[in-house]
C-alpha cells in the first residue's frame, strides 16, 4: 500500500490506452467482474503498479501485451471511508473462479448500498496484497484525484 505522508492512499489502474480515461466503470458494468455483476459500474484498482499489471495480465494473452496499455494513479483522501473485506470473511475457494457468485453478490450489494466509496479486497493472485474497488456512483467519487495517464512499459522476458 502506498500511503502518502498526509495519510492519503495511492492506488493504481492499468487499462488499454482507449479506456484509461474512463471514470464511469463502464467496462465492469458491461462485462461484470470478480466483485460486480453485469449492469453495475465499478473501477478496479490495486495497491501498487506491479499488482495492477499482474491482475490485468490474468485477462490477456501474451500477444495482448503488444497493445498500448497505460496506467494512472488515484489518490483516495484519508477522510474517505474504505470498507475492507478479509479473505477470512470469504468462502474457502473464493479466488479460484474469477466470476464467483459469492464475490459478485457481495460486491454488487456493496455497490448498490453506497455505504463507502471504496471496497478493499484481497487479491486473488497475491492474497497479502489488496485491490480497491471504487464505486463511481458514490457521492464522494468527486473527492478522488486522478493522475495523468502514463504509458506502461512492460518488458517481457524472452524465452
Say which residues have a Cβ less than 8 Å from residue 126's Cβ, sequence separation at least 6. Answer: 51, 54
pLDDT value for 58: 64
* Lowest-pLDDT range of 38-47, 61-70, 122-131: 61-70
DSSP code at position 42: -
**Domain 2-151, architecture per CATH:** Alpha-Beta Complex (3.90)
3-state secondary structure of 8: coil
- The domain ranges of the chain are 2-151
- DSSP character at residue 91: -
Structural Rg of the chain based on CA atoms: 15
Q: How many CB atoms lie within 10 A of CB 113?
A: 11
| pLDDT, greater one: 145 or 98 | 145
Of 26-35, 88-97, 133-142, the poorest mean pLDDT is in 88-97
**Quick one: pLDDT band at residue 68, thresholds 50, 70, 90?**
confident
Alpha helices in 58-155 (DSSP H): 101-113
HSE, CB side, 13 Å, CA atoms: give it for residue 88. 1
Residue 61 has pLDDT above 90, yes or no: no
Position 66 scores a pLDDT of 58
Amino acid at each position: 500500500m502506498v500511503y502518502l505522508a498526509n495519510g492519503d492512499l495511492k492506488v493504481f489502474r492499468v487499462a488499454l490506452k482507449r479506456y484509461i480515461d474512463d471514470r464511469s466503470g463502464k467496462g465492469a458494468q458491461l462485462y461484470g467482474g470478480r466483485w460486480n455483476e453485469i449492469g453495475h459500474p465499478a473501477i478496479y484498482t490495486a495497491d501498487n503498479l506491479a499488482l495492477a499489471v499482474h491482475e490485468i495480465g490474468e485477462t490477456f494473452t501474451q500477444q495482448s501485451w503488444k497493445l498500448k496499455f497505460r496506467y494512472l494513479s488515484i489518490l483516495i483522501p484519508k477522510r474517505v471511508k474504505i470498507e475492507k473485506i478479509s479473505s477470512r470473511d470469504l468462502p474457502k475457494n473464493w479466488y479460484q473462479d474469477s466470476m464467483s457468485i459469492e464475490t459478485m453478490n457481495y460486491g454488487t450489494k456493496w455497490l448498490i448500498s453506497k455505504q463507502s466509496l471504496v471496497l478493499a479486497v484481497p487479491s486473488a493472485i497475491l492474497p497479502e496484497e489488496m485491490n480497491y474497488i471504487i464505486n463511481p456512483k458514490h457521492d464522494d467519487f468527486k473527492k478522488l484525484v486522478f493522475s495523468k495517464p502514463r504509458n506502461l512499459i512492460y518488458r517481457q522476458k524472452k524465452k
